Structure 1
Amino acid sequence: MAITFDVTAAQIVGLFMECILYGVYLVSLGYCLRALLLDPFEQGLQRKKHINWVMLVVALLLCLFATLDVAFGLRHNLDAFSYYHGPGGATEELNDISYWVNVMKTADYVAQTFIGDGMLIYRCYIVYEKNWKIVIPSILFWLGGSVCGALLTYTFATLRSPALIDTSKAVPYVDTMIALSLTMNTLTTALIVGKIWSVDRQNATLMSNTTANAIRTSKLHRVMRIIIESAALYTISTLIFVITYVAGSNANYGTSDNVVQIIGISFNLIIIRVDAGKSYNGRIAESSTNLSSRQQPRNKPQSFPLSLFNTTTDSALNSNSDSEFTGRKGITLDVDVVHKYDDLEQGTNVTGESALKPLSSV
């Protein structure tokens, strides 16, 4: 006798998968909040003016929606397997796509995607020194996907007949929303990585100091890896959801729930990895003697911005002034942010995204 993956089994397995990822998410959230709230050099809370409130608020919002999604999933399973005693049993209960829990889970998915994609666009905007023209196509894709998500939620809320998530009335909205989201993520990530690669190439051409050039190149490469890996994590999880949805498998319940958690995990991991690099670079800067003409205080180590310099003289590299170098084309990117605590977090993200911020926008 063939075993079918019916909606009851799919809901149980989906909740199990999401709970595992939710545990991973909570651990990453703890480290993320530590990076945002604690001073890595003074071993205490950061001052209010140093806290990146934008990233903190976004992290808390992603936590809210990730938690609600798990709670709604648990409530739905309790309703189906424990509280409902009508005809058709659990299958009949889970087939009601217009039930308020299903509608709220759909809204939760849309909201989480909206925030994650919006942060990716914001990072791109920051990396390009707040040049809004660069992100116009990404914004259009983002708004289009959000509208489709809102229409999908409305469709589920007003569909007064038994149906699953892949009902024909919802397919156009789901397909369009996912296609626009994937296109936006690919385009925006490519823009960010392209900008970093361009600065890397120009630095390699203009800088005569090979030691400093190697430091800046290695840091730019690290930033590019963080962005690409985060984008890949989100994109792969979304593609898995698309495959299960197109195939008409009930596994799409679990894969869509997983995307909600992975958006938050990706966001947290970028901040965690950037903070780890910042702390490491701070320790290196404190003990370094060949890159600074005089000793820096322990709570204020020297920052080495990755910039397109006007000059390549050693005196510029050895300066320990609080002012940062400004590129001849207006490109100034600080990627270790030892001296400016919030630069990297201001330019980081959830869905696979940049960890850079131009110093001119600080």
Structure 2
Amino acid sequence: MALLIPIVGVNFTSVAVESLLYGVFLLLSAISFYLLFTKEKLSDRPRSSRFSALTTPLILANIVITTAVTGHWVLSLVRTVDAHLRFNNGDTPQEYLEDLRRPVFLASTAILIVTLITGDCIMIYRLKTVFKYNRSTIVFPLCCLFGFIACGIGTVFQFSKLSSEHNVFLASIGIVFTFITNVFCSSFIAFKIHRVNSAATNYNGQNLGSITGIIVESAALYTSWTIMLMAAFLAGSNLVYVFADTISVITGISFMLINVRIGLGWAIDLAKSLERSTAHSISLRPTNASSAIRSVDDRRTANYQMRSLTVHVERTVVKESSEDGVSPGVDLHGSLPAKELESVSDRASSKQTHERKGYI
């Protein structure tokens, strides 16, 4: 027997839960934006313009999911206000909420499907990245994604023709497709990271188990919410509206949790590497600025090896001869008197009288 809960109370509950989760999502989204833009700014990827970072897959998905989740939350508030204040002056809110052909409900359903499609695309992109862009690994999840897209379009069309007392077959099939996509991608990503973690631990002691935990925990949040949605849908309970209205923000939270937790780990590693590089670039505990500069100069000087230089000192002795008719007061070239030349040679010989070697 289905759990009979008034749809008016279910509507208030879904709006309250979605608003609470939307606040959590908005905080995670802001942190995710900051970390993704910072990482993209510090990367060596070539940039054609200042807005080229917006075209990266994760940042683009972040923008789409944030816009979709915000739009769905706004339409949920509008639908509640219309049901309790505008439609028949608020006298028959249950009649308004049970009519699935309302444009506001159709628009919120379409936005919900866009959010789920974006979340599935990111899971497939991460699976492809982990498996080094191997196309064979994404064939099955792509088939499930295309099936979900077809079911999503059919669901919106079917809602526009039916009322709440009719079971919607395409909606249930679409839920199964997105459920299989997330379980498949999460399982294979965790399996690949586990294998890489085992090999990395054996060689260099690096542990990637935290990344596996992040992927599994985020996927478990979305998967558990989808299971409760399927259970409420198959039971015919009005609680299906609570899970259906909040699965959009749950998808956004799951996506942002992965970005934020991995991004924070990257930021911590970057800060540690910068701290280590700074510690190696300066001396330990310099007493003042001059001692730090001298320590840097000493290290620079130590990098250059001293080379030996041989200096040869020669002395030229000029002898006078008066028998050849040359004046004894002038040398052979007539440049200096012999006495002055001899005195210069004596001074030179007194300072450097033999061959010497030195280092400069």
TM-score above 0.5, yes or no = yes
Contact 1:286/1:296, CA 8 A, preserved across alignment: no
Gap regions ≥5 residues in structure 2: 283-360
| 1:153-302 alignment runs, 5 A limit | 153-159=156-162, 163-164=163-164, 167-168=166-167, 170=168, 172-205=169-202, 207=203, 213-214=204-205, 216-217=206-207, 220-288=208-276, 295=280
Task: State the partner residue of 2:134.
Answer: 131
Q: CA RMSD in A?
A: 2.8
In structure 2, C-alpha distance between the alignment counterparts of 1:37 and 1:4, rounded to whole Å: 48
Task: State the partner residue of 1:82.
Answer: 85
**Alignment CA distance shift 1:94-1:231 (3 Å):** same
Task: Give CA deviations for 1:317-357 in whole Å, capped at 9, x if unaligned.
Answer: xxxxxxxxxxxxxxxxxxxxxxxxxxxxxxxxxxxxxxxxx
Contact 1:36/1:51, CA 8 A, preserved across alignment: no
Compute the displacement of 1:271 (Å). Answer: 1.2
In structure 1, C-alpha distance between the alignment counterparts of 2:96 and 2:51, rounded to whole Å: 51
In structure 2, C-alpha distance between the alignment counterparts of 1:27 and 1:234, rounded to whole Å: 18
In structure 2, C-alpha distance between the alignment counterparts of 1:130 and 1:82, rounded to whole Å: 53
Task: State the partner residue of 1:73.
Answer: 76
Query: Larger Cα Rg: Structure 1 or Structure 2?
Result: 2
Q: Determine if the alignment matches structure 1 residue 28 to structure 2 residue 25.
A: no
Contact 1:121/1:138, CA 8 A, preserved across alignment: yes
Q: Determine if the alignment matches structure 1 residue 116 to structure 2 residue 115.
A: no
SS in 2 for 1:158: coil
Give the TM-score taking structure 2 as reference length: 0.70
Contact 2:36/2:59, CA 8 A, preserved across alignment: yes
In structure 1, C-alpha distance between the alignment counterparts of 2:119 and 2:215, rounded to whole Å: 14
In structure 2, C-alpha distance between the alignment counterparts of 1:286 and 1:33, rounded to whole Å: 22
**Alignment CA distance shift 1:232-1:7 (3 Å):** same
Q: AA paired with 1:193? A: A
Q: AA paired with 2:268? A: Y
Task: Give CA deviations for 1:92-142 in whole Å, capped at 9, x if unaligned.
Answer: 111111111111121111111100011100111111111111110111111
In structure 2, C-alpha distance between the alignment counterparts of 1:230 and 1:296, rounded to whole Å: 40
In structure 1, C-alpha distance between the alignment counterparts of 2:73 and 2:200, rounded to whole Å: 47
Contact 1:41/1:279, CA 8 A, preserved across alignment: no
Task: State the partner residue of 1:147.
Answer: 150
Compute the displacement of 1:193 (Å). Answer: 1.2
Q: AA paired with 2:119? A: G
Contact 2:40/2:53, CA 8 A, preserved across alignment: no
Give the TM-score taking structure 1 as reference length: 0.70
Task: State the partner residue of 2:10.
Answer: 10
Q: AA paired with 2:238? A: N
SS in 1 for 2:82: helix
Judging by fraction of residues, say which structure has more helix: 2
Compute the displacement of 1:88 (Å). Answer: 7.2
Contact 2:84/2:90, CA 8 A, preserved across alignment: no
SS in 2 for 1:97: coil
Contact 1:241/1:252, CA 8 A, preserved across alignment: yes
Higher relative contact order (CA 8 A, sep 6+): 1
In structure 2, C-alpha distance between the alignment counterparts of 1:40 and 1:124, rounded to whole Å: 21
